Amino acid sequence: MLSSGIIIDERQIELKDDEIIPFIKRYVNEHDEIKEQYDKFANCQMIVSDENYREFVVRILDWVVIENIKVYYPKDVKNLDKMAYLKAGFDLKKMDKYVLKGKRYVPYIDPIEIKIQELGGKVVNSPENEISHWYPKTANIGFKTPETLITKFTDEELNIIKRAEFNKFDYEALKRRLNKEALRQNFNLDQELFMRFGCASNKFFFASCHLPDMDFLPDRLLAYFDGLYEKLEWRESAELVLREFIKTNYYRRQIYHGMPLNTEFRIFFDFDTNEFLGIYNYWDKETMIDNLHSRDERMTFADTIPLIERDFNLLSPYLEDEVKKKLPNANLSGKWAVDFMYDGTNFVLIDMARAECSYYYEKVLEKQLSLQNNNK
């Protein structure tokens, strides 16, 4: 593992930290075409400094620069063991690739990402993504699902949320209504619960989702409002959802303020054709390393991912078989992402959304594109 220097494709150039910028400068100035690119790049920057040289070779030339216990690397880098550097104590700095557009360098967007944005924009606000749409259609198809209570916010409650006047929210009136709904639906409120909105959860601040009992509702809901109220600003109605808190018979460490790194799967399924489109690790290693910004969480993930990947690889074929048998029984249409958690005994169907607005759908499209190219 290179501790200080530069990686160009498969070539590693070992340099001391104070030698790196001078090396880059020499390289740039000795290659006329690259020097011309650099001058255009530097002209786009607000501040001219030695940092521009490092940023240029990473963003434009796809180099990896290891300097002062930091690893600067381009998005989608192929020649870097990020996990090894993470465990060795290095700070990882991902940089988006830039391309010249007109007279300016701008972030590069892969054509598949553009297609995802186009497709996702058409369905991201679809009422089909509400749990009240898909949960009744999947609750009895043979998968274990969390016991679920769905209630709508009143018009008055929703207006208070939209105005961010959370101190005016009547939490006691909401609790009374939930008790009445629970009694009517035979839902057990005397258990640990997972709270979410119909259209989204606040899982990246997981402590706000977890209700050890109903006394925690006001504090947890206030945290939800702080984090997610903008998702409700444009809505004419919104749902509050309480679900059975699914526990595992194994222990995993936590990130996101209390979210266990349980073994989870994201399935993509086309309900129009009953076609299984793919299965992916919810905790995809490359994705998580690039997107976890807390060093403590990165280290927790690095320590836990071998267990997750072991279980994922072992269990995926069994889940795929179950999905192909059971998901066609759901009365749904279109392409969907379906999330499962393994509790140690069962695959639990915990969440769904339209595929086009779900993470990892780009992997499905990349696989389809690769198959098309191979068949030409």
pLDDT for 376 equals 62
pLDDT at residue 317, as a whole number: 98
- Going from the C-alpha of 339 to that of each of 63, 264, 351, the distances in angstroms are 36, 7, 5
Q: Which residues pair with 275 in a beta bridge?
A: 270
Which pLDDT does position 14 carry in this prediction? 97
Q: Is the distance from CB of 266 to CB of 354 less than 8 angstroms?
A: no
> With contact defined as beta carbons under 8 Å apart, do 364 and 278 qualify?
yes
Q: Confirm if 297 and 371 have CB atoms less than 8 A apart.
A: no
Find the distance separating the first CA and the last CA of the chain, reported in whole Å: 40
Cα–Cα dist 205/134, whole Å: 24
Strand partners of residue 8: 11
Question: Phi and psi (nearest 5°) for 295?
Answer: -60, -40
At 216, which amino acid appears?
Answer: F
- What is the spatial distance between Cα 279 and Cα 265, in angstroms, rounded to a whole number? 7
Give me the tens of pLDDT residue by residue for the chain, a chain 376 residues long: 999 999 999 899 999 999 999 999 999 999 999 999 999 999 887 777 888 999 999 999 999 999 999 999 999 898 899 999 999 999 999 999 999 888 888 889 888 988 998 988 889 889 999 999 999 999 999 999 999 999 999 999 999 988 889 899 999 999 999 999 999 999 999 999 999 999 999 999 999 999 999 999 999 999 888 877 777 877 888 999 999 999 999 999 999 999 999 999 999 999 999 999 999 999 999 999 999 988 899 999 999 999 999 999 999 999 999 999 999 999 999 999 999 999 999 999 999 999 999 999 999 999 888 777 777 6
Which pLDDT does position 234 carry in this prediction? 79
- Planar angle of CA 147, 149, 152, nearest 5 degrees: 160
How far is CA 170 from each of CA 50, 177, 216, 217, 232, rounded to the nearest angstrom? Answer: 56, 11, 14, 12, 18
CA 322 vs CA 131, 181, 206, 344: distances in Å: 22, 33, 29, 16
Residue 22's H or E segment, with its range, is helix 17-30
**Nearest partner of 50 among 13, 25, 19, 18, judged by Cα:** 25
Beta strands at 264-270 and 259-260: parallel, antiparallel or unpaired: unpaired
Tell me how many degrees the CA angle 293-296-297 measures, rounded to the nearest 5: 60
Assess contact for 362 and 116: CB atoms under 8 A. yes
Residue 337's pLDDT is 98
